[in-house]
Structure 1
Amino acid sequence: MEWKPNKVESVPIYKQIADYMETRIMNGEYPSGSCLPSERFLAAELGVNRGTVIAAYDELLASGLVKKVKGIGTVVSQALWGEGPQKRIPNWGQYVKSGFFQINNPINQQIYQIIQSRDHVINFAIGELAPDLQPVKLMQDIHRSMEINDYLGYEHMQGNIKLRETISAHLRKYRRIETTPSSIIITSGAQQALHLIIQCLLKPGDAIAIEDPSYAYSLPIFHSAGLKTFLLSPGREGIDPDEIISLYKRTRVKMVFLNPTYQNPTGTTMSEERRKKIIEISTQYGIPIVEDDPYSITGFQEQAIAPLKSLDRDGAILYISSLSKIAASGLRIGWIVGPQPVIDRLADAKQQIDFGHPNYPQWISERLLASEGFDVHISQLRAGLRDKRDRVVEALRSEIGSYIEFIEPQGGIHLWCGLKGECDEHALFRESIQNGVIFAPGTTLGSKKGFMRFTYSRTETQDIREGIRRFADALKRVMK
């Protein structure tokens, strides 16, 4: 919630809240029969005591705008507009349950609500870069030097040609991928890339394979699209390629979604031998591979690990990447590399959805990738991520080394931890939030219990030790 009460005004805070909620009711944002946010939730959103929200709701109750319903909460009155013909208000509650897109996992919804409304929570939950890892100064310099003399209308359906040329050069230099600008489409981050592939190339009832655990596991889009999802287990060297063969023979799987390098959430990297075997399987059985590669240039070793796509000579792999994990998630610049017929199909769909990507972030991104300062930024990013990882690892070992186990990632932004004993995951999540720290519970990313993901890239460096201490206190209380 963006609005906050003004604590220096002469109007009492509860009255400000009552007036604000009344405005939203009268504007139709909370129609007749809909529920207002719970007192506890609204208090947390606005940073006030629950008693203040109760007083605000009592004001609305006294004015007849709302009523209390036992077992439900505070509900907007049906007879809001007084006497007159009987009205039949649209049942928006039913509509929001009936759309194509399934809702997010409630835990993920709660994570986003908390980090957007509580400044004091130390954030190990969200996969993005902290301000001290972003190329802010470089982007400020680029912004100052820009002259807006290009066309300001709709861009090319595949995206700005200069940006696609620069991405092509970037892929050759940093990721050993040979491609042309015409084989690239710009998307609104990797998220839209996945949605376009699923919605354009697959149909309800198709079988696909994803890793368990994985970021893909957390996405409702696979179920929204009516796909049958089958799970592959990544080990220390990635998934076993023979699992794909076995799965194909049983289910005729249509597509496989993989994150082979510094995998989210496990941090593991697929071995070169397994990468070659997966390419062979893909071309032998005709199974497309979708490679999600947000992290390959964040490795802590000198020699960067080349993506799976760098081995592809037959156009069997659709390659997804973005600037979100190496520059700034707010730019919303991602891309797909693939065969021309696929790119044409995806570009047509994207044009139907949003008429192409906005100009300005594409111009900024092109200059960022082409700048001399980008090499320096990547070096600083790798060093910064390694420092944050080391601090998290040291703090975990110091605070709760006997309670957990993990493999240190050699790149990327996530640390995947397993508990050595039994623990109520939901109780630990609630207790941690109460203690002022938030993480991603393992069951939001995979089918197995007893795991959690700490994203060290998002946490301010000075908060890492305190954040782990808060988590350790919560864990010890829950496991007593």
Structure 2
Amino acid sequence: MDVRFSSRASTQTLFAQVYEYIWTRIQRGEWKEHEKLPSVRLLAAELNVHRLTVFKAYQLLKEEKKVYVKDKSGYYVHPGGAMPLDNLDSPIVSSYVQKSHLSEIHKVPVTYQFSYALIDPNLLPNRFFSEYVKEIFDLYPKVLSSYSTVQGDEELREALCRYFMDMHRFHLSPEDIMITSGSQQALDLLARMLVQPRDAVLIERPTYSAAIDIFRQLGAQLIPVEIHPNGYDLDQVEAYMKRYKPRLFYLNPTYHNPTGYTVPAEQRKQLVELAERYRCFVIEDDPFRDMYFESEPPPPLFSYSVEGYVVYIRSFSKYVAPGLRIAAVCLHPSLVSHFFTVKSLADNGSPLLNQKIFLHYFSSSRMQQHIEKLRTALNVRKTIMEEELSATAWRWNSPAGGLNLWVKLPESLSMEALLAKSIEQSISFVPGSICDPLKETKSWLRLSYSYISEKQLREGTKLLISMASELAGTVE
């Protein structure tokens, strides 16, 4: 039997996973309106859980009017899918409660933007780029008349190959690199390439919310792996690999999104060894590597890869020019042709102009000067937010790099109420449950300190704290 859910997990965790499994398949349209759902007995056997766990999930779906019951016949899909929540007028809060989609939060214009894990445009070399683009047209007069190859511009791949070999001692050639339109496209394509419906996928808890959506859309069964300030419980990781035989483990080990944690070097090597032993692919997402504040982070897992089970995604978009949408994917030669196929179906190649602009800026001394100044600016912003938060009883681990703080609030404080009140005051943040595959992380939130000015950062943090205090007083 293809075991999906761990019998060692808590009843609440199993219940949440079964609920999410049923609801996700309904949302994807795999089970249509008025279609009969699998019986409690069949679904319990399929998922290797107790029948009572499945029954409880069905009962909650029935209460939420997502399914209905026919006497002596079973459960059926309710027409209309998710029902609106009458007491939540804000679409952003409704989305948070019902879907947990980060994109809905980003749609709302606010003054104090703590939900964007992006860098303040004023910190990027905008004027330099505007002048620099003219040089690109002189160097490549036909750049707008040409498509890039599907694999990516050869000149750029050669430059990145030299960079990875010099900086991280990667063993690869330019032919082992694919250029994508940002890291999210890379992850989406890799997931399509590697994952089939009902494949087990290990994923950090919490994690990058888009990754949750990507794997769920493909019908994968998500197996959460807790990430801590000192990394993972490797005994747990090995037990999961042995038990579930997962297709892949998606991780973001350097200045992790959303927690800011960094997995230590010794664990990275051990993770690669486990992946090779159990034939589990590792997708290493590394968008924040250059955003360290003091010392450089440990080498990527890809540096330890021998048998080709590690796939490395390196995005440069956030701190160079987000509009260029440039990421590199490093793969074992045996995977390149498969990735080539899914990439060609997606867009037949990322824009050549973007790649040429990035290539010449990436190779310049101006780039290193920019990165050094950016590190200083981000560290100052992190310090400002931490100074303001220090007046509270909230908890967080100060990250050594990256763009986010992962903050624990009192459990008595309603995250839905805080989110709704924050939007009224033109503040946005990311509720922790959006980053949780089980949607149970209710008292955590992610605050990004990188997108707004130092003045706005201080004002917005003070205002957020004040609103939380008011709500806490109301609760008490």
Q: In 1, Cα distance between the equivalents of 2:443 and 2:466? A: 17
| CA deviation after TM superposition for structure 1 residue 141, in Å | 3.6
Render the CA deviation track for 1:48-91: whole Å, top value 9, x for unaligned: xxxxxxxxxxxxxxxxxxxxxxxxxxxxxxxxxxxxxxxxxxxx
| CA deviation after TM superposition for structure 1 residue 369, in Å | 0.8
Q: Which residue of 1 aligns with 2:381?
A: 388
Q: Which residue of 2 aligns with 1:435?
A: 425
Please point out which of 130, 135, 154 is paired with 1:145.
135
Question: What secondary structure sits across from 2:384 in the alignment?
Answer: helix
Preserved contact between residue 102 and residue 209 of structure 2 (Cα < 8 Å):
no
Q: Superposition pairs for residues 303-318 of structure 1, below 5 Å?
A: 303-318=296-311
Which amino acid in structure 2 is aligned with residue 113 of structure 1? K
Which amino acid in structure 2 is aligned with residue 230 of structure 1? I
Say if 1:207 and 1:107 are closer, same or farther in 2 by CA, change over 3 A.
closer
Preserved contact between residue 255 and residue 288 of structure 2 (Cα < 8 Å):
yes
Query: For structure 1, which runs of at least 5 residues remain unmatched after alignment?
Result: 1-92, 98-102
Q: Which residue of 1 aligns with 2:107?
A: 113
Q: In 1, Cα distance between the equivalents of 2:430 and 2:332? A: 35
* 1:154 and 2:144 aligned: no
Q: Which residue of 1 aligns with 2:333?
A: 340
Preserved contact between residue 170 and residue 302 of structure 2 (Cα < 8 Å):
yes
* 1:256 and 2:246 aligned: no
Which amino acid in structure 2 is aligned with residue 258 of structure 1? L
Say if 1:135 and 1:307 are closer, same or farther in 2 by CA, change over 3 A.
farther
Q: In 2, Cα distance between the equivalents of 1:474 and 1:455? A: 18
Q: In 1, Cα distance between the equivalents of 2:149 and 2:210? A: 33
Q: Which residue of 2 aligns with 1:330?
A: 323
Q: Which residue of 2 aligns with 1:460?
A: 453
| CA deviation after TM superposition for structure 1 residue 140, in Å | 2.8
Please point out which of 127, 132, 138 is paired with 2:122.
132
Please point out which of 381, 403, 413 is paired with 2:403.
413
Q: In 1, Cα distance between the equivalents of 2:167 and 2:467? A: 41
Preserved contact between residue 128 and residue 324 of structure 1 (Cα < 8 Å):
no
Which amino acid in structure 1 is aligned with residue 106 of structure 2? Y
Render the CA deviation track for 1:235-289: whole Å, top value 9, x for unaligned: 1111122222111222111110111111111111111121121111111111111
Which amino acid in structure 1 is aligned with residue 115 of structure 2? A
Instruction: Calculate the TM-score normalised by the size of structure 1.
Output: 0.74
Preserved contact between residue 323 and residue 331 of structure 1 (Cα < 8 Å):
no
* 1:368 and 2:361 aligned: yes
* 1:198 and 2:191 aligned: yes
Larger Rg: 1
Preserved contact between residue 391 and residue 464 of structure 1 (Cα < 8 Å):
yes
Question: What secondary structure sits across from 2:107 in the alignment?
Answer: helix
Question: What secondary structure sits across from 1:405 in the alignment?
Answer: coil
Q: In 2, Cα distance between the equivalents of 1:231 and 1:382? A: 32
Q: Which residue of 1 aligns with 2:240?
A: 247
Which amino acid in structure 2 is aligned with residue 280 of structure 1? E
Q: In 2, Cα distance between the equivalents of 1:206 and 1:156? A: 32
Render the CA deviation track for 1:315-366: whole Å, top value 9, x for unaligned: 2200011112221222111121001231221122111221211111111111
Q: In 1, Cα distance between the equivalents of 2:104 and 2:196? A: 31
| CA deviation after TM superposition for structure 1 residue 206, in Å | 0.6
* 1:293 and 2:296 aligned: no
Instruction: Calculate the TM-score normalised by the size of structure 2.
Output: 0.75
Say if 1:360 and 1:260 are closer, same or farther in 2 by CA, change over 3 A.
same
Q: In 2, Cα distance between the equivalents of 1:358 and 1:259? A: 26
Q: In 1, Cα distance between the equivalents of 2:133 and 2:325? A: 17
| CA deviation after TM superposition for structure 1 residue 217, in Å | 6.6
Render the CA deviation track for 1:205-257: whole Å, top value 9, x for unaligned: 11010000010576312111011110000011111222221112221111101
Render the CA deviation track for 1:97-134: whole Å, top value 9, x for unaligned: 9xxxxx9935524312213xx4xx21010111111322
Which amino acid in structure 1 is aligned with residue 141 of structure 2? N
Say if 1:173 and 1:435 are closer, same or farther in 2 by CA, change over 3 A.
farther
Question: What secondary structure sits across from 1:452 in the alignment?
Answer: strand
Q: In 2, Cα distance between the equivalents of 1:479 and 1:287? A: 45
Q: In 2, Cα distance between the equivalents of 1:218 and 1:336? A: 16
Q: In 1, Cα distance between the equivalents of 2:210 and 2:412? A: 23
Which amino acid in structure 2 is aligned with residue 124 of structure 1? F
Say if 1:305 and 1:132 are closer, same or farther in 2 by CA, change over 3 A.
farther
Say if 1:333 and 1:205 are closer, same or farther in 2 by CA, change over 3 A.
same
| CA deviation after TM superposition for structure 1 residue 176, in Å | 4.1
| CA deviation after TM superposition for structure 1 residue 433, in Å | 1.1
Q: Work out the number of aligned pairs and report it.
A: 376
Question: What secondary structure sits across from 1:236 in the alignment?
Answer: coil
Question: What secondary structure sits across from 1:220 in the alignment?
Answer: helix
Q: In 1, Cα distance between the equivalents of 2:100 and 2:238? A: 34
Q: Which residue of 1 aligns with 2:274?
A: 281
Which amino acid in structure 2 is aligned with residue 149 of structure 1? P
Preserved contact between residue 138 and residue 373 of structure 1 (Cα < 8 Å):
no
Question: What secondary structure sits across from 1:296 in the alignment?
Answer: coil
Q: Which residue of 2 aligns with 1:319?
A: 312
Of the structure 1 ranges 157-166 and 168-177, higher mean CA displacement relative to structure 2 is found in 168-177
Q: Superposition pairs for residues 64-103 of structure 1, below 5 Å?
A: none
Say if 1:458 and 1:283 are closer, same or farther in 2 by CA, change over 3 A.
same
Question: What secondary structure sits across from 2:157 in the alignment?
Answer: helix
* 1:169 and 2:162 aligned: yes
| CA deviation after TM superposition for structure 1 residue 429, in Å | 0.4
Question: What secondary structure sits across from 1:269 in the alignment?
Answer: coil
Render the CA deviation track for 1:371-400: whole Å, top value 9, x for unaligned: 1111111111111111111111111113xx
Which amino acid in structure 1 is aligned with residue 308 of structure 2? G
Query: For structure 2, which runs of at least 5 residues remain unmatched after alignment?
Result: 1-78, 84-94
Which amino acid in structure 1 is aligned with residue 105 of structure 2? I
Identity of aligned residues (%): 29
Render the CA deviation track for 1:413-457: whole Å, top value 9, x for unaligned: 110000134111110001111122111111111232100001111
Q: Which residue of 2 aligns with 1:6?
A: none
Say if 1:272 and 1:302 are closer, same or farther in 2 by CA, change over 3 A.
closer
